[in-house]
Structure 1
Amino acid sequence: MADVLAEKASPAAGPAYKRVLLKISGEALMGPQQFGLHPPTVERIAGQVVALHDLGVEICLVIGGGNVFRGLQGSAQGMERTTADYMGMLATVMNALAMQSAVETLGLPTRVISAIPMDEVCEPYIRRRAVRHLEKGRVCIFAAGTGNPYFTTDTAATLRASEMSCDAIFKGTQVDGVYDSDPKKNPDAKRYDRVSYDIVLQKNLKVMDASAIALARDNGLPIIVFSLDEPCGLAGIVKGEGRFTIVEPG
Structure 2
Amino acid sequence: MVKRVLVKFSGEALAGKEGYGIDTKILNYIAGEIKELVDNGVEVGIVVGGGNIIRGVTAAADGIIKRTSGDYMGMLATVINGVAIQEALEHAGLEARLQSAIDMHEIGEAFIVRRARRHLEKGRVVIFAGGTGNPYFTTDTAATLRASEIEADLLIKATKVDGVYDKDPAKFDDAVKLEALTYDQALNDHIRVMDDTSIALAKENNLPIVVCNMFEKGNLLAIIKGDMSLCSIVK
Partner of 1:23: 8
The alpha carbon displacement at 1:201 in A equals: 0.8
Give me the whole-angstrom Cα distance separating, in 1, the residues matched to 2:51 and 2:168: 19
Partner of 2:33: 48
Corresponding residue SS for 2:126: strand
Partner of 1:111: 97
> Once the two structures are aligned, what percentage of the paired residues are identical?
53
Give me the whole-angstrom Cα distance separating, in 2, the residues matched to 1:88 and 1:160: 18
Give matches, 1:59-74, under 5 Å.
Answer: 59-74=44-59
Q: 2:75 aligns with which of 89, 112, 125?
A: 89
Corresponding residue SS for 2:89: helix
Corresponding residue SS for 1:32: helix
Give me the whole-angstrom Cα distance separating, in 2, the residues matched to 1:172 and 1:158: 13
Partner of 1:12: none
Give me the whole-angstrom Cα distance separating, in 1, the residues matched to 2:127 and 2:135: 19
Partner of 2:88: 102
- Maintained 8 Å contact 1:230/1:243: no
Q: Which amino acid aligns with 2:38?
A: H
Corresponding residue SS for 1:117: coil
- Maintained 8 Å contact 2:33/2:218: no
Structure-1-length-normalised TM-score:
0.91
Give me the whole-angstrom Cα distance separating, in 2, the residues matched to 1:25 and 1:92: 10
Partner of 1:196: 182
Quick check: 234-243 or 48-57, which moved more? 234-243
Structure-2-length-normalised TM-score:
0.97
The alpha carbon displacement at 1:231 in A equals: 3.6
Structure 2: stretches of 5+ with no match in the other structure: none
RMSD of aligned residue pairs (Cα, Å):
0.9
Partner of 2:201: 215
Q: How many residue pairs were aligned?
A: 233
After superposition, give the CA deviation of every residue in 1:204-247 in whole Å (9 maximum; x if it has no partner).
11110000000000100000110012243311221133510110
Q: Which amino acid aligns with 1:40?
A: K
Structure 1: stretches of 5+ with no match in the other structure: 1-15
The alpha carbon displacement at 1:33 in A equals: 1.1
Give matches, 1:109-148, under 5 Å.
Answer: 109-148=95-134
